[in-house]
Amino acid sequence: MHKIVSAIFLAENIKKIEIEAPRIAKKRKAGQFIMIRVGQSGERVPLTIADSDPEKGTITIIVQGMGKSTRELNTKEAGDTISDIVGPLGTPSHIEKFGTAVSIGGGVGTAIAYPTAVALKEAGNYVITINGARSKELVILENEMKAVSDEAYITTDDGSYGFHGFVTQKLQELIDSGKTIDYVLAIGPIPMMRAIAEVTRPYNIKTMVSLNPIMVDGTGMCGGCRVTVDNQIKFACVDGPEFDAHQVDFTNLTDRNKLYLPEEKKSAEAFAHKCNLQSAGLQYLLDLSLCHHDFPAVDLCRDGFFCINTPSFLIEITMATQHITTKERFAIPRQEMPAQKADVRNKNFKEVNLGYTPELAQKEALRCIQCKDPACIKGCPVNIKIDQFIKLIADGNFLGAARKIKEDNVLPAICGRVCPQEDQCEKTCILTKKHTSVAIGNLERFAADYERETGNVELPTVKASTGKKIAVIGSGPAGLSCANDLIQLGHSVTVFEALHELGGVLVYGIPEFRLPKEIVKSEIDGLKKLGVNFITNAVAGRSITVDELLKEEGFDAVFIGVGAGLPWFLGIPGENLLGVYSANEFLTRVNLMKSYQFPENDTPVFNCKGKNVAVFGGGNTAMDAVRTAKRLGAEHAYIVYRRSEAEMPARLEEVHHAREEGIEFLMLMNPLEFVGNEQQWLTGAKCLRMELGEPDESGRRRPVPIKGSEFILPIDMAVISIGNGSNPLIKQTTPDIEVSKRDTIVVDMNTMATSKDDVYAGGDIVTGGATVILAMGAGRTAAKAIHEKLTGIETVQPV
């Protein structure tokens, strides 16, 4: 929580708010911004930092109440708090001695132009400021601008103050007067910035604009803020927000910023209505949900969806497990995982799989023939003692089973749900030779759920303090497993997370229906009880750097487990049309920001109801995205994949579930171009049919285009799910960490040590997109190496 120190209106609807944020105040530079989440159901909104006071530990923002979030922010007073602030984000303004520099602010953009004008002055420039507003009452920061300017001009559209006209006219007047201008920075509404670009273009004056596209995370993770600059896609939050005005595609920026206009209007109206009721003393109407006026009904996940006809599991089972013969074990069929009915679950976000009952779990456990040399253990990346925990389940000792698993796996309830066991432990189960493998993942999940649901979670012992401090960057599976091992070994551990919630990909990437967030929270709560310190809203490479952690904050080692969060796009025409998402953005909106509960939660997402949605890709993330679209009401939800189903990398269970839920699989199809209407909304994907040729370097049969087979697939929304690259922030701010050609961090795989002393890395940032359990294994390997390096004490296993 961040306390508001002061809040005053500068003009109607424009408020200056000073907030406690010491870390940001210390680091912020001109041109940088923060993401702010006003309350628990709020959206993440980017706002530029107008000023900061490192001594006081405060930052100042200037907010114009436009949408719901900014209006809500403007109702805040001194002493109130704000849930989340993350920053400073974005690349700072490039400041040098240009000569004569003109800083132009339009409306509330003046608040952003101000710190840059200060920095330009400090760099020795002759600074001219032009501060534009619609009328005199809306002029802000006049005195502050004058104080840093060699020449300062105010313009008003209505002529009520200063120069009568637009900022562009004033700029043109200055140019026409023969003044040499070397640099222009313009910040304000898009039409103003576009017009400035056209004024300076003929004179070849270097002109920068600070762009304000829609953002979700602000950390380079979703691609929602993408803009076209010099015909290339750039992410405004990490590559910008300032770009060369003469290279920006303003048409596309304008179109993309219209994406959620209807939703924003609805949300702002609902907020205004709420304020009216409150000020009329009618809060009780809201509390009692009696007032539905203007609140659009959210008809998903509201009520009545969890009506599962659970089969009756009347299983007679002998508890005398020791006496069952191998033949009898073979005779037991693999126990099916109970699940919600497909036509029920495809309309809700509750978990699909319901978990084994104790009877089912015991029956399944009896199938394990307790091999002398269990191959399944070798198939598990963290070598869980599978035979032992399954025997404990068969014996009815469910808590014992959970604790046995936890000797090797800190997140069993998560792994039991999302690990691809069929390609790991279950693949190597001896039973697969003649039968189906033991359902190891289902049993792992059962034991973990039993321990948690019966309130019997037992904390492991923590060794005496070593006095060593370790920073873990990223709270996904790699970071959590590393933190778990290190805390138990007696180290002080602090985990830094970029988002406002802990769990990394487990919370923003994997949907609730596959991994309920309460499971992730409960596993993380366990780590908190052990003493792990968690800091949210801390972006590595922006809020903190690896060098700062080692040199200024006194950490003895750093583990980087930030995942692979930079979404790849197809690189085909039309990818910036409205309605084209990366899977990261779509899933982050729905999973992290709970946009399926819009407008109760402020973050909107494309309204899929009755629409055709295509997800391009064939992995688990693609399955998550397409099943999410179906739950949001899509009429047709397609998977479009360029190879055949046999080559799809998604887990069989996910494909099976998706098909049951009505997902349509369009195989051997490759998108060539997205097409749209005059308003720039997506209307279809031009696709080419393929056939399978010879195997390629991956061993899968290569898709070969069928000439002349192009056709248009009519769709309203597209989700690109073809994988992720590495977020560039760590590389940019820690150049002495060696990275590969793919920008992944290079490590010694035996220790996960990077090329930089005392810095380790693991998970997707090292391997590229992989599995939860592999990331956890890497976290544990690093923990072991860190412990040995810091203490000189060798450990066979981390714990």
Residue 642 DSSP class = S
222-230, 337-345, 429-437, 438-446 -> range binding ligand FES (CB under 6 A): 222-230
3-class secondary structure per residue, 133-202 = ECCHHHCCCHHHHHHHCCEEEEEECCCCCCEECCHHHHHHHHHHCCCCCCEEEEECCHHHHHHHHHHHHH
Number of residues that bind ligand FES (CB under 6 A): 12
139-147, 219-227, 241-249, 726-734 -> range binding ligand FES (CB under 6 A): 219-227
Direct distance between the N- and C-terminal alpha carbons of the chain, in angstroms, rounded to an integer: 35
Cβ nearer to ligand FES, comparing 115 with 567? 567
What residues between 229 and 248 interact with ligand FES by CB under 6 A?
A: 235, 237
Edge-to-edge strand ranges of the sheet holding 81-82: 81-82, 2-11, 14-20, 58-64, 45-53, 33-37, 84-89
User: Nearest approach, Cβ of 563 to ligand FES (angstroms)?
Assistant: 14
133-141, 217-225, 269-277, 336-344 -> range binding ligand FES (CB under 6 A): 217-225
What residues between 734 and 763 interact with ligand FES by CB under 6 A?
A: none
Cβ nearer to ligand FES, comparing 362 with 584? 584
Binder among 106, 109, 218, 509 for ligand FES (CB under 6 A): 218
Cβ nearer to ligand FES, comparing 166 with 235? 235
128-136, 218-226, 355-363, 457-465 -> range binding ligand FES (CB under 6 A): 218-226
Tokens 């805040």 sit on residue: 76
What residues between 381 and 440 interact with ligand FES by CB under 6 A?
A: none
223-231, 391-399, 523-531, 729-737 -> range binding ligand FES (CB under 6 A): 223-231
The answer to whether residues 160 and 135 touch, using CB atoms and an 8 Å cutoff, is yes
How far, in Å, CA of 353 to CA of 657, rounded?
A: 10
Binder among 222, 431, 506, 640 for ligand FES (CB under 6 A): 222
3-11, 220-228, 266-274, 502-510 -> range binding ligand FES (CB under 6 A): 220-228
For 197, other C-beta atoms within 10 Å of its C-beta total 21
Binder among 90, 105, 132, 220 for ligand FES (CB under 6 A): 220
Cβ nearer to ligand FES, comparing 215 with 719? 215
What residues between 462 and 501 interact with ligand FES by CB under 6 A?
A: none
Asked if 223 interacts with ligand FES (CB under 6 A), we say yes
User: Nearest approach, Cβ of 215 to ligand FES (angstroms)?
Assistant: 4
Binder among 224, 416, 479, 504 for ligand FES (CB under 6 A): 224
Three-state SS at 110: helix
Asked if 509 interacts with ligand FES (CB under 6 A), we say no
User: Nearest approach, Cβ of 196 to ligand FES (angstroms)?
Assistant: 24
User: Nearest approach, Cβ of 89 to ligand FES (angstroms)?
Assistant: 9
How far, in Å, CA of 607 to CA of 609, rounded?
A: 6
How far, in Å, CA of 746 to CA of 734, rounded?
A: 13
User: Nearest approach, Cβ of 682 to ligand FES (angstroms)?
Assistant: 19
User: Nearest approach, Cβ of 529 to ligand FES (angstroms)?
Assistant: 33
Contacts of 705 (CB under 8 A, 6+ apart): 670, 688, 689, 690
Binder among 225, 443, 495, 639 for ligand FES (CB under 6 A): 225
User: Nearest approach, Cβ of 220 to ligand FES (angstroms)?
Assistant: 5
Cβ nearer to ligand FES, comparing 222 with 483? 222
Asked if 221 interacts with ligand FES (CB under 6 A), we say yes
Sign of CA dihedral 564, 638, 340, 606: positive
Residue 595 DSSP class = G
441-453 in b/e burial notation, b at 16+ Cβ within 10 A? bbbbbbbbbbbbe
H/E stretch holding 627 reads: helix 620-631
User: Nearest approach, Cβ of 44 to ligand FES (angstroms)?
Assistant: 8
What residues between 187 and 216 interact with ligand FES by CB under 6 A?
A: 215-216
Contacts of 372 (CB under 8 A, 6+ apart): none
Cβ nearer to ligand FES, comparing 87 with 218? 218
H/E stretch holding 559 reads: strand 557-560
The answer to whether residues 165 and 175 touch, using CB atoms and an 8 Å cutoff, is no
Tokens 């601008």 sit on residue: 145
Q: Which residues pair with 64 in a beta bridge?
A: 14
User: Nearest approach, Cβ of 43 to ligand FES (angstroms)?
Assistant: 12
- Residues at the interface with ligand FES (CB under 6 A): 215-218, 220-225, 235, 237
